[in-house]
Structure 1
Amino acid sequence: MNPSIKSYVSLVSNKPKSKQEKKLQTPKKAFFLSAFMATSHLHLFLFFLFTAPSTVCQENNDYAPPQLPPSEQEAVYRVLNSVNPAIPWRTTFPDDLCASPSDGVVCDYPDASSSTSLHVTELHLGYVSDYTQNPPCSSNSTLDPLLFTSFKHLRKLFFYKCFTGAPASLPDPIPEDFGSVLEELVFIENPSLSGDVGVLIGNFTKLRRLVLTGNGFHGSIPNRISGLVSLEEITLSRNSLTGGFPATSRLKNLKVLDFSHNTLTGNAPDSIGDLTELLKLDLSYNAFSGEIPPGVGKLKKLEFLDLSYNRFGNYGVPLFLAEMPSLKEVYLSGNLLGGRIPEIWRNLEGISGIGFSRMGLHGNIPASMGSSLKSLWYLALDNNNLEGSIPIEFGLLDSAREINLENNNLTGQAPFSDGFRDRVGKKLKLSGNPYLLLVKESVPPLAGEVLSSSA
């Protein structure tokens, strides 16, 4: 048996005993103490025993703890076996799977008014860490069809690195009644799992999180996704999705929208500005074209904006960034916007990351980037046509951990002290500026080093 599987079986077989089981192991001296106390109250015990025997017995005989329906128990075994047939699931977990569940299986009452039956409400499959000990998946995991027909009360479904070897696919179509109460649907790092992404965007009216990242899904994102009005997160990154930007303006609760690392094309709609609760917008590494929609400027709560490596073509860095006071990170690299870096940074003092590489920028670097951005830890302005000197204020960026100004036309003396350079180390990238001078504090200025492209 695989060592990791042995470890998992050993772990679940040696779980800490319950309080009830510990009571059965009470030392003898505790037993005699209990017996003494019981004798002193014997008359009370006899009174209750002979005056109400039928009531006591009736209550004990009638009570039965709620259990998982047998058909649902069988479906759980089937699903667990499909993701890892090497684990003896039935013998490792022979009892009711709600009373003694495997890790990753969560049961609950279907609603507040029910207390007689339990159902599986969450399935979390694929080992993540010791803090979330989901059952491990094997390299030949499959999707058992019962997953989509047997769990009418499922609220959360999670797969992590389960489909990494043998090809696996979704049933097409997925049964219409699957996911009627589903709130979270998560498939992460399953490169062997393929299928049309539209199959997974069904009638999930209660869905809050849709996370499909690092899988083999293809096709276009259907416009019916706009009907999932409870959505708070859509992450469809690192698949093989094509087509245009879907309708999303009805998703008023959306906080995260991530379509990055696909092959989506066309314009990003201005209606994206209707998603006023957005905290993160990531459309990077696609083929979107046209202008960056001005509606983005309406996203006053947005903290993370990444539009890098598309084909956006409006002229210059958008000035509406100055109207987005919550921004913490903004990345526009790889879009040939041209123009100068605007003087907008006094309104964006909370920014910690800026990526403006390969944008065709020219002119001087604004001094306000150094004087205003005290929280800045990452700045990339490399591979542009920037000129002039590096503002002396850049030497005061105490939070900086990476500054990349490579391959521009910068001149003069770089304003970075020995201490600054020691702190940032190799993440201070200045090469490719032939007339930029880097002077060590212990060396007279005239003996300073001129940076070459190989520096």
Structure 2
Amino acid sequence: MEISCSSSYSLAFFISLLITTGIAIANSQPVLNSLEQESVYRVLESLNSDIPWRSLFPDDLCSSAPHGVVCGYTTVPTATDDGAVNILELSFGYVSDHNPNPPCNPNSTIHDPFMFSSFPYLRKLFFYNCFTTRPVSLQTFSTLGSSLEELVFIENPSLFGSLTESISNMTSLKRLVITGTNVSGEIPDGFGGLLNLEEATLSRNRFTGIVPENVSNLKNLKILDLSQNGFDGKLPASIGELQNLIKLDLSLNLFSGEFPASMKDLKCLELLDLSYNRFTNSGIPIFLSEMSKLKGLYLSGNELGGVIPDIWENMRGINGIGFSGVGLFGNIPSSIGVFLGNLTYLGLDDNHLSGGVPLELERLAMVNELNLKNNNLSGRLPFSANFVSRVGRKLRVEGNPELCVDVGAIKSFSKVHGSLDELKVCNNRVANSRFTLLHVTSSSISVSRQIPYLVTVFLLVVIM
């Protein structure tokens, strides 16, 4: 079966939003029912009682409402029926001048846990930086119905509680974002029943437990971000069945074991971040070469061991590689410089890499950060003054005692005032003596003496 790696939501979903934007197609638009009108006022007053919402917006809210309160037709008007309008979207918390949602204040709360049950057709509920002081339970929103397609909480540190099995009632949910909150607990089994889910961002919270096996049911999932929580255990092999994934970010958790071999089936993946977990002894996976669409690959902070595999020919689109502190040894493959022309970041620091720095790394014309510090690299640093000036302070090479720099390049290197100042000067006595002897010209030696001089030079070269 062919996999379509599309980063946009489905065309059908986009068309459905257009149909329900609230554009009147009849001569007179029906008014919002009084229950929903009153419920909107109550929510606004709970979030910011300093603003006189009722006097500022005294009329029908489907005709005149604050930004973020969106109505739409839920019954199509006909020649004899004006149809019906209802609240479809509620977005709170000022984001920017382009998204001036009703602002929340430090005392924002939700007084009535059944407040949102008054919106039977609600498709989107969004809170940005609203619940910052007074505790609000996530269970307050458990009464949301099956029509909901987006549930978003961003930067709400006073939001607490946990995901419960009631999440399975939100059968239309396409986007679930809970980030920067105090929500905790495990992911319930009901999460695997959200078959329409396309994004699950649950980052920077206090979640714990394992990734449930039934996550494989989420065939439409494009974004899975569980970063900066307390998840642990092994990754289930079933994660390889999420073949439409574009972003997989599990960084800064407590995951352990080896990477599941099934991950090779994530052919659409563009970002893979498994950094700062407890994955061990698996090395850099060879199957990464089958992820030809990867742009970001971050495995730092896991004790993986092994060498850097020569897999880069099939990964030419990659622009970021983070392999810091993963226990690597052996040489840096020159193929990184040959094939990864889009690379902007390469982190190989705090490993056990040895050998020379490949000259081919200078071919990374777009790199703006190259970190090789704290390894066992040796020999001459091969970079030109232009390369050093371009990368500047983000060229890190300190902590490699056997790495050196040519004396002629010291002035160019010192201009960046970076870690290059810590390198020792290469010992060029032998190389310079050969170079000098072999480049003496006739201007310094008479023609009559050139033949015996050249013989002498030849003998010296042979002896050395």
Amino acid at match of 1:394: L
Amino acid at match of 2:110: L
Report whether the alignment pairs 1:84 with 2:35.
Answer: no
Equivalent residue for 1:125?
Answer: 92
Equivalent residue for 1:298?
Answer: 265
Q: 2-side partners of 1:164 and 1:267: how far apart?
A: 34
Describe the shift of the 1:436–1:116 C-alpha distance in structure 2 as closer, same or farther (beyond 3 A): same
Q: 1-side partners of 2:46 and 2:271: how far apart?
A: 39
Q: 2-side partners of 1:287 and 1:355: how far apart?
A: 18
Equivalent residue for 2:423?
Answer: 451
8 A Cα contact 2:71 2:88, kept in partner: yes
Aligned residues: 388
Give the one of 331, 334, 341 matched to 2:298: 331
Q: 2-side partners of 1:210 and 1:173: how far apart?
A: 13
Amino acid at match of 1:254: L
Compute the TM-score of the two structures, normalised by the length of structure 1. 0.82
Equivalent residue for 1:422?
Answer: 389
8 A Cα contact 1:437 1:449, kept in partner: no
Equivalent residue for 1:151?
Answer: 119
Q: 1-side partners of 2:317 and 2:303: how far apart?
A: 26
Report whether the alignment pairs 1:232 with 2:212.
Answer: no
8 A Cα contact 1:297 1:320, kept in partner: yes
* 1:219-368 correspondence runs (5 A): 219-246=185-212, 247-368=214-335
Compute the TM-score of the two structures, normalised by the length of structure 2. 0.80
Secondary structure at 1:81's aligned position in 2? helix
Q: 1-side partners of 2:166 and 2:370: how far apart?
A: 42
Amino acid at match of 1:228: L
Secondary structure at 1:266's aligned position in 2? strand
Q: 1-side partners of 2:141 and 2:282: how far apart?
A: 45
8 A Cα contact 1:143 1:170, kept in partner: no
Amino acid at match of 1:105: V
8 A Cα contact 1:418 1:441, kept in partner: no
Give the one of 168, 176, 183 matched to 1:202: 168
8 A Cα contact 1:173 1:199, kept in partner: no
Q: 2-side partners of 1:68 and 1:333: how far apart?
A: 54
Q: 1-side partners of 2:173 and 2:332: how far apart?
A: 45
Q: 1-side partners of 2:310 and 2:33: how far apart?
A: 65
Report the RMSD for the aligned CA atoms in angstroms.
2.1
1:392-439 per-residue CA deviation (whole Å, 9 max, x = no partner) reads 001111100111111111111222222222222211111111221234
Higher mean C-alpha displacement, 406-415 vs 356-365 = 406-415
Q: 1-side partners of 2:166 and 2:319: how far apart?
A: 36
Q: Shift in Å at residue 179 of structure 1?
A: 2.4
Describe the shift of the 1:285–1:128 C-alpha distance in structure 2 as closer, same or farther (beyond 3 A): same
Amino acid at match of 2:44: L
Secondary structure at 2:215's aligned position in 1? coil
Question: Unpaired runs of 5+ in structure 1?
Answer: 1-61
Equivalent residue for 2:65?
Answer: 101
1:237-276 per-residue CA deviation (whole Å, 9 max, x = no partner) reads 1100011112211111110011111001111011111111
Q: Shift in Å at residue 228 of structure 1?
A: 0.6
1:336-369 per-residue CA deviation (whole Å, 9 max, x = no partner) reads 0101001101111111000001101001100001
Equivalent residue for 2:39?
Answer: 75
Q: 2-side partners of 1:116 and 1:73: how far apart?
A: 17
Equivalent residue for 2:14?
Answer: none
